[in-house]
Structure 1
Amino acid sequence: MASKLLIVIVLILDLIAFGLAVAAEQRRSTGTTKQDGEDNYQYCVYDSDIATGFGVGAFLFLLASQVVIMVASRCFCCGKALNPGGSRACALLLFIICWVTFFIAEVCLLAGSVRNAYHTKYRSKFFEDPPSCETVRKGVFAAGAAFVFVTCIISEFYYVSFSRANGSSRPYGGETGVGMGAYK
């Protein structure tokens, strides 16, 4: 039987990660070119850098959620063997998909946070091209939020399938010893 407390804890962690990823998308920094006081140089000025913190927070909450699920299920491969059947096959498939979506979400959140934190520091002369005030592309944190949501759903289903395959009371049909009970 799946622990309802664990499911709620993981759901809360994932929802916080999702909310932070959406907030990071909304608050990602933008850069504009400004001229210095003597009008000889142009340089980049960036607004708030709060999206980096939101992205790292989403990264950490999603990581905590994944750790809780994997510790509770003993990462699918440790512990006693699961009972054969549809629940074990479903748990294995969901385990693989869960890790793939988790990895994609973490890469999006980490790459978005690193790129959002990077600010060009150089200046260009007035008669040259203005500096490129590069920022994180629109949609990087949104993609991370989408994969956080998918990971949330799949990890919940994985844990329920794992619990079904682990706690099933039906015995395995094959005998492990030699059946000699009828002979005396």
Structure 2
Amino acid sequence: MASTLLLVAVFIFDVIAFGLAVAAEQRRSTASIFTDNEKNYSYCVYDSDISTGLGVGAFLFLMVSQVIIMVASRCFCCGRALSPGGSRAWAVVLFITCWVMFIIAEACLLAGSVRNAYHTKYRTIFMAENPPSCETLRKGVFGAGAAFIFFTAIVSEFYYVCYSKARESFQPYGRETGVGMGAYSST
């Protein structure tokens, strides 16, 4: 049977990662164009950079969650054999799906954090028709990361349950492996 404590711990890490990703989406950096007092040049002023830290936190919590699941399941490839059947088949499909979702979520969180931390540092000569471009993170990057965190959480929990079911139902063959010739002996 799957470890309930492990499932609860992974669920808590995933919920924290999801909450941090949603908070990062809400607190993305924004920029404003300011002009100096003499009106010689314009420059960009960015507000708080908290969403970068929130995105990195979500990245790390999701990574810890994935590591816990993979260590508990021996990354699907180590340990004793799994019994053939539906549970093993679902475990394989969910294992692959879990990793795909995890990689997409981590890529969204990492890219969002890096891009959110980037601030243009240049000034331009003041022209009303050509203001400086104050680049900021596109809306929805952390939101996409949060969505994939949610999907990864669901798939990884199902993967672990199917893996545990397939592992526990395995019955090794307990008899001798050779061909028995006792019945054919000549007397």
Is TM more than 0.5 here? yes
Calculate percent identity across the aligned residue pairs.
69
Query: Could you tell me how far 1:180 is from its partner in structure 2?
Result: 2.0
Query: Could you tell me how far 1:179 is from its partner in structure 2?
Result: 4.6
Tell me the number of residue pairs that the alignment of Structure 1 and Structure 2 aligns: 183
Query: Could you tell me how far 1:96 is from its partner in structure 2?
Result: 0.1
Residue matched to 1:155: 156
User: Which structure would you say has the larger Rg?
Assistant: 2
Query: Could you tell me how far 1:64 is from its partner in structure 2?
Result: 0.3
State the secondary structure of the residue aligned to 1:104.
helix
Residue matched to 1:35: 35
Structure 1 residue runs of 4 or more that deviate by more than 6 Å after TM superposition? 173-176
Residue matched to 1:132: 133
Separation in 1 of the partners of 2:153 and 2:176? 39
- Cα RMSD (Å) of the superposition? 1.8
Residue matched to 1:53: 53
Separation in 2 of the partners of 1:176 and 1:131? 79
User: 1:1-184 residue pairs with structure 2 within 5 A?
Assistant: 1-127=1-127, 129-168=130-169, 171=171, 177-180=177-180, 183=183
Query: Could you tell me how far 1:182 is from its partner in structure 2?
Result: 5.7
Deviations 1:85-105 (A, max 9, x none): 111110000000000000000
Query: Could you tell me how far 1:174 is from its partner in structure 2?
Result: 10
Query: Could you tell me how far 1:178 is from its partner in structure 2?
Result: 2.5
Separation in 1 of the partners of 2:32 and 2:8? 43
Amino acid at match of 1:94: L
Query: Could you tell me how far 1:82 is from its partner in structure 2?
Result: 0.9
Amino acid at match of 2:149: V
Amino acid at match of 2:144: A
Separation in 2 of the partners of 1:38 and 1:99? 55
**What residue ranges of structure 1 are gaps of 5+ in the alignment?**
none
State the secondary structure of the residue aligned to 2:70.
helix
Amino acid at match of 2:44: C
Amino acid at match of 1:115: R
Query: Could you tell me how far 1:131 is from its partner in structure 2?
Result: 0.9
State the secondary structure of the residue aligned to 1:75.
helix
State the secondary structure of the residue aligned to 2:105.
helix
